[in-house]
Amino acid sequence: MKREEILDLIDKTSQDDDAGFQKIISALLNGGFIRVMDLAHAFGTNFITIEGWASGKNAPHPVMRKHIFQWIREWKYLCTCPKKCDCENPPPKNWDGKSGAYHVSEMCPEHNLVPRPDSNCPLHSSR
């Protein structure tokens, strides 16, 4: 899920929707947009609580969700690194790793064991 899709989902999710809240938190964490400890620190809780939110085992009071959604909308430090292959000419799935001329992006998370972060990523760049 892209950042814009998550923000759109926040706009469509009511504060009382437990499943929607869980989907938003899971998308943020699983997509690498935010770390568990960042959310825990922002809301004065611990990682176990945040993992409970992501798994759907528990959720904050609906009034608190309004503040969480607003914080996510305003938070500037969402990862902008590629989540899928961004290669111009990627190798085929059955590639032997030896033959052919392919253009693989240095940032591609599928074709690099250690992809280079996006230079503009506020979480992962060295700036």
Give pLDDT tens digits for 77-115: 666 677 778 788 888 888 777 777 787 788 887 777 777
User: Tokens 């790793």 label which residue?
Assistant: 97
Bridge partners, residue 22, by sequence:
none
Sorting pLDDT into bands at 50, 70 and 90, what band is 4?
Answer: confident
Residues 67 and 8 in one domain: yes
20-24, 52-56, 92-96, range with the lowest pLDDT: 92-96
For the chain, the domain total comes to: 2
The domain in which residue 30 lies consists of 3-74
Helices (H), the chain: 3-12, 18-30, 36-42, 47-55, 62-74
Residue 39 Cα distances to 69, 81, 112, angstroms: 11, 19, 29
Residues 20 and 65 in one domain: yes
Which pair of structure tokens corresponds to residue 33? 């947009």
pTM of the model: 0.61
Sorting pLDDT into bands at 50, 70 and 90, what band is 122?
Answer: low
Residues 18 and 69 in one domain: yes
Helix and strand totals (H; E) in the chain: 5, 0
pLDDT at 123 > cutoff 70 = no
